[in-house]
Amino acid sequence: MAFAIPTGDSVRPTDWAGLGWLFLFFWYFPGINQLLLLTTGFVGSVPLRQSLVFSLLWLVPVMIFPRMTRPFAAVIGVILWFFSLFGLFFYFIYQQEFSQSVIFIIFESNETEASEYAAQYFAWWMIPALLAYTTGAVLLWKRLRPVFLSGRHTWGFTAAVTVLLFIFPIGKAIANKGASLLTVQGVLEKNMGPVIPWQMPVAYIQYREQLASMQALLEDNARLPPLANLRDAHAGQPSTLVLVIGESTNRQHMSLYGYARPTTPKLDAMRDQLLVFNNVVSPRPYTIEVLQQALTFADQEHPNLYLTRPSLMNMMKQAGYKSYWITNQQTLTKRNTMLTTFSKQTEEQFYLNHNRSQNSPQYDGAVLEPFQQILRDPAPRKFIVVHLLGTHSKYHFRFPPEYEQFSGRKGLPTTLDDNQVEVVNDYDNAVLYNDYVVSSLIASLSQASPHAMLVYFSDHGEDVFDSAGHKVFGRIEDTPTLPMYAIPFLVWMSDGWRSERPLNYSRETLDRHYSTSHFIHTWAELAGLTFDDFEASKSLVNKAFKERPLLVGNPYKPKSMTDLRAQMPAAEGR
Ligand SMILES: [Zn+2]
């Protein structure tokens, strides 16, 4: 095959229209998505600009090898088309940008979760939309023709693109930050990160780096200095303390919190044995990001403290508890996750979810047997974390058939369409089953140990067409609604435990506005532990409690954070 390296300056006049079609073709794939995003007003013009300048890059090879224009454009087109689908479908579903952080969440989620989401959100109109989009690409490709430029113009253009895309931004960064490989990598990641097809590989490289640092974190964690002056009000006494972490359960769907449907009959029945906190929220709408704060000293203002301070698991170990982690979440997939890191800070782990697909029935009742097994363990002081799958989508797979009790439209907003009604019914049935699991854990614990305590909260909430307008579904950090963060927060104590160290549980206490980002202080106090860094004002049950803004949003973009109290009634709940 002969490549025609263009030579001479007198070949033919420049085919500007041909160049225009080529550029339009390469820009079509990132461009359609960027144009759609601009109409929502959520995204600035930077990704659009990046997609425009990086589309110039594809012109270089077709200028150097003009005879290869159509086959080359076809290959690049298919690659760009494929990678553009992620962003396009994400836009169809959320009208949001498919950003690096979204991709991280997908990598962090277990493999099949993404396809499960896709199934849940799929709508018929997406097929014709996809066909139209693809047809547009094919029609554009048919118009492409080789453009023969003079050698001088070709190399001049190549040099200009190289300067514009690489030399100028890298030079500028080196001038500001000094020359290093990291500087260069940072510029490339920042500029190419928003642009397909580089988006995925860039995000994956960054994700792998984060994961490697997680592994290091586990090693670092083992070397952290212990909490200074740890004192234990229950020192030496046999006790069992349990932390149950729920999943995607919005308290506004629990009758315990006033929901019209009786979704939590068992917890309702034991209400007088429970401390039900009415205004607790999660700091973020994603599991890992919440637990990085709830289980450590990190919070929205100091998001990195999980790296340098002991965790709640470390604390309990230091206090002399044998610790266990039972999880019904898919933690042990090929990819290790932050969840695995936390679970490995306990002494014994029970990983119950071995499904390849989360899109299959996996019921939280599976935690009850290992829970009983641990309760029979002769270790006198036990700390048990139970991590539920809760009411995570797909809701229909979270409860066995006999819990399918809510159907029809009774008790639901009249504005919901039939599909939405079905989703809410599935969710409410999942909440009903969650009620059985949580209340069964409490029942087992109360039989097993006279000195026992159990705390249950959900990692975050879920907007199941709850917020005003009844249109929002799921969780999106950029557009926070109260249901995404409104979580149940309950404490159960055995009589023995409660009478030993009476704390303050007035109505005022139960109505306090609180974020689980400071949970470690509440847990410490409930467990009877104090230490130098304990902050009474961050403990939900302390006399010296001080209300703080309920910051939600990405703590690494402090300006994006908002105070959720603006969406909360002065005293929500009862
Ligand atoms: Zn979650």
DSSP letters along 86-97, please?
HHHHHHHHHSS-
Distance 524 CA to ligand 1 centre (A): 23
The 10 Å Cβ neighbour count of residue 181 is 7
Predicted pLDDT at 420:
94
Distance 221 CA to ligand 1 centre (A): 24
Report, as an integer, the average pLDDT of 400-415. Answer: 93
Distance 261 CA to ligand 1 centre (A): 23
Distance 245 CA to ligand 1 centre (A): 9
Predicted pLDDT at 395:
93
Distance 477 CA to ligand 1 centre (A): 13
Between 505 and 39, residue with greater pLDDT: 505
Distance 287 CA to ligand 1 centre (A): 4
Mean of the per-residue pLDDT values of the chain: 88
- 124 and 169 Cβ atoms separated by less than 8 Å: no
Determine the Cα–Cα distance for residues 5 and 241; give it in Å rounded to an integer. Answer: 75
Distance 458 CA to ligand 1 centre (A): 8
Predicted pLDDT at 331:
59
- What residues does 490 pair with on adjacent strands? 276, 456
% of the chain at pLDDT higher than 70: 89
Distance 460 CA to ligand 1 centre (A): 6
Which residue shows structure tokens 């290959």? 75
Q: In the predicted model, is pLDDT for residue 112 greater than 70?
A: no
Between 203 and 103, residue with greater pLDDT: 203
- 283 and 300 Cβ atoms separated by less than 8 Å: yes
Distance 331 CA to ligand 1 centre (A): 13
Its pTM stands at 0.69
Confidence of residue 335 (pLDDT cuts 50, 70, 90): very low
Pick from 82-96, 253-267, 300-314: least confident: 82-96
Tokens standing for residue 399: 């409860």
- Please, where are the H alpha helices in 166-311? 168-177, 181-192, 199-223, 265-269, 287-294
Distance 295 CA to ligand 1 centre (A): 14
Tokens standing for residue 48: 């659009």
Which residue shows structure tokens 């898919």? 330
Report, as an integer, the average pLDDT of 526-555. Answer: 96
Distance 372 CA to ligand 1 centre (A): 25
Distance 5 CA to ligand 1 centre (A): 56
Report, as an integer, the average pLDDT of 15-22. Answer: 91
* CB crowding 351-384: b at 16 or more within 10 Å, else e: bbbeeeebbeebbbebbbebbeebbeeeeebbbb
Confidence of residue 104 (pLDDT cuts 50, 70, 90): low
Tokens standing for residue 469: 């307008």
The 10 Å Cβ neighbour count of residue 67 is 14
Distance 107 CA to ligand 1 centre (A): 14
- What residues does 491 pair with on adjacent strands? 275, 455
Between 40 and 544, residue with greater pLDDT: 544
Predicted pLDDT at 332:
47
Tokens standing for residue 460: 């975050």
Distance 81 CA to ligand 1 centre (A): 31
Distance 396 CA to ligand 1 centre (A): 17
Distance 559 CA to ligand 1 centre (A): 24
Distance 392 CA to ligand 1 centre (A): 7
Q: In the predicted model, is pLDDT for residue 6 greater than 60?
A: no
Predicted pLDDT at 116:
64
Predicted pLDDT at 318:
96
Distance 273 CA to ligand 1 centre (A): 27
Q: For residue range 552-569, list pLDDT tens digits in order.
A: 999 999 998 999 999 987
Distance 447 CA to ligand 1 centre (A): 30
Distance 457 CA to ligand 1 centre (A): 11
Distance 284 CA to ligand 1 centre (A): 9
CA 204 to chain centre: 16
Q: In the predicted model, is pLDDT for residue 355 greater than 80?
A: no
Q: In the predicted model, is pLDDT for residue 95 greater than 80?
A: no
Identify which of 437, 267, 456 has the alpha carbon closest to the alpha carbon of residue 369: 437
Distance 459 CA to ligand 1 centre (A): 5
Q: In the predicted model, is pLDDT for residue 474 greater than 60?
A: yes
Confidence of residue 117 (pLDDT cuts 50, 70, 90): low
In terms of residues, how long is the chain? 574
Distance 337 CA to ligand 1 centre (A): 14
Determine the Cα–Cα distance for residues 323 and 313; give it in Å rounded to an integer. Answer: 7
Distance 411 CA to ligand 1 centre (A): 26
Confidence of residue 2 (pLDDT cuts 50, 70, 90): very low
Which residue shows structure tokens 């639901």? 412
- What residues does 458 pair with on adjacent strands? 246
Confidence of residue 205 (pLDDT cuts 50, 70, 90): confident
Handedness of CA 521, 525, 528, 530 (dihedral sign): positive
